[in-house]
Structure 1
């Protein structure tokens, strides 16, 4: 299933975002891989001979969003957390942020690390990419877990609600679509913006400390990170169209686990995915808001372990 990561010429230690401090997690190694022309950052550890589990984070985070979940997976699994293009220590290309294009880069990165088949776990925008990846590379996926994500054209409502009790969860979709204005308003204020999301969208506002907020804000501020983060939203209509074009030809047949939370954005991820999938089951993690891996990491690790080992 896997091979030594250092045995392939596609893997190096060349970091394209050197002005962003690099976080280290005990038992894990930083890699950079050539993923079809975009250099992506991966953090790899765990059991090399175990089933491969690939983790993708969303806005406004980086791979570091999985730092509390990853240690709980290492005994059984080969764990790989990947920064998406434009995220963290991955390259920030000028264009190409529709989720099918990004999915091709992520899949290429996994292959460059010597992994042929894998389980894919993703949150927020990471889940947008994961859904499209499953449509393109279904035969090489063993299963898919999607955490609290409004996937364009799939689980995202067609209209953004105007009720204040609901609008705070999705208002930013429209804001991020506006050309240039978000960059004008947010440049230099990345910490305030990131802090709003991390504090308001968690059940407990002290889930993230100042250092974590600074880390994610610095990622947005570094070398085109803000532009790249907004590009996912600006390409969302294209992503939705490509998803539906693919779904006209096929359904998702891989096992899917929808992970929702008691106070998240999508009340029932499994029900939202089920129209497009043959095998979708779901759980609701209690005492959590949108950022489930940070708020309830043990519950997430346990749910993923059950999902993967039950299939095996």
Structure 2
């Protein structure tokens, strides 16, 4: 299955979210790519001719979620971290947050950077997009690693538990799909809201410092950011429908690594994905909560490097 036809993408340094300060990482360069009419922000570095790795982050983060992992990969790989539509310094379109549509844009952006084959590494909502991208563009993928995420229509529970010991992990799925109410309650309180997720879902509540909380809150608060963040959840039912439809035709054959953590949301990512992928392995990262790349970056980088290897 292939995505929709695309026009020739344009690469520029034109930042569509100028009110949000750019975060620079030594050895990496900012790029913006017109991907089917939406400018996506990418940060790239590493070996230009090395095996390419594309990193996708989830809610409530940006590409900056990978900042501690990326320097460990640049000596062996070409590393590209992409802000999804509505994330960070990518454009915030009014619609189109169903994950197959987003996946097509991400794939267009990666191709525009001159990459024809690559591995995907993705966390949280980024993993939603990565799973759909693998279904639609598997022939371009070498390997896929998914971190601590339930996938819509596949492994994401449709019922929200009411037991407080479990409900704190997933209560927001229902809240985010309610029309208008989240915007009303959260506008002007983005830092408190983002901070709750980052502090509560990390194993150590001091994982994120004030500067990081400020960055992620500002990204959500920037024009259209809150609406876009919620749109992924509001379009999740359509994402689920398209995932199920795709999987009726075939399962994934690309090698998949499920990365869980000792205190995350999905205890065994590999087991949850194995019914839908023919080649699945898994690891559990110790001493980490949901935000594994921030909490144990060296372990995540090592797992990625071992899984992907040097074969281009």
TM-score normalised to structure 2 length: 0.96
Q: Matches of 1:90 and 1:231 in 2, distance apart?
A: 15
Q: Give the match for residue 112 of structure 2.
A: 112
Aligned to 1:10: 10
CA contact 2:9–2:108 (8 Å) conserved in 1 = no
Aligned to 1:253: 253
Q: What is residue 296 of structure 2 aligned with on the other side?
A: 296
- Aligned partners of 1:155 and 1:269 also within 8 Å: no
2:88 counterpart residue number = 88
Partner of 2:63: 63
Distance, in Å, in 2 between the alignment partners of 1:153 and 1:175 is 18
Equivalent residue, structure 2, for 1:138: 138
Moved more, 152-161 or 33-42: 152-161
Unaligned ranges ≥5, structure 1: 1-7
Normalization by structure 1: what TM-score? 0.96
Q: CA deviation at 1:155?
A: 1.8
- Could you tell me how far apart the structure 1 residues matched to 2:164 and 2:9 are? 52
In structure 1, what is the equivalent of residue 161 of structure 2? 161
Q: Deviations over 1:5-49 (max 9, x none)?
A: xxx972100000000000000000000001111100000000001
Q: 2 CA distance for matches of 1:99 and 1:109?
A: 15
- Partner of residue 265, structure 1: 265
What's the CA shift string for 1:208-239, capped at 9, x where partnerless? 00010000000000010000000000000000
Q: Distance in 1 between matches of 2:169 and 2:155?
A: 14
Work out whether residues 121 and 146 of structure 2, in 8 Å CA contact, stay in contact via their aligned partners in 1.
Answer: yes
Query: For residue 46 of structure 2, what is the aligned residue in structure 1?
Result: 46
Which 4+ runs in 1 deviate beyond 3 A? none
Q: What's the counterpart of residue 4 of structure 2?
A: none
Q: In the alignment, which residue of structure 1 is the partner of 2:234?
A: 234
CA positional deviation for 1:158: 2.5
CA RMSD of aligned residues (A): 1.0
Number of residues paired by the alignment? 305
Q: Which residue of 2 aligns with 1:309?
A: 309
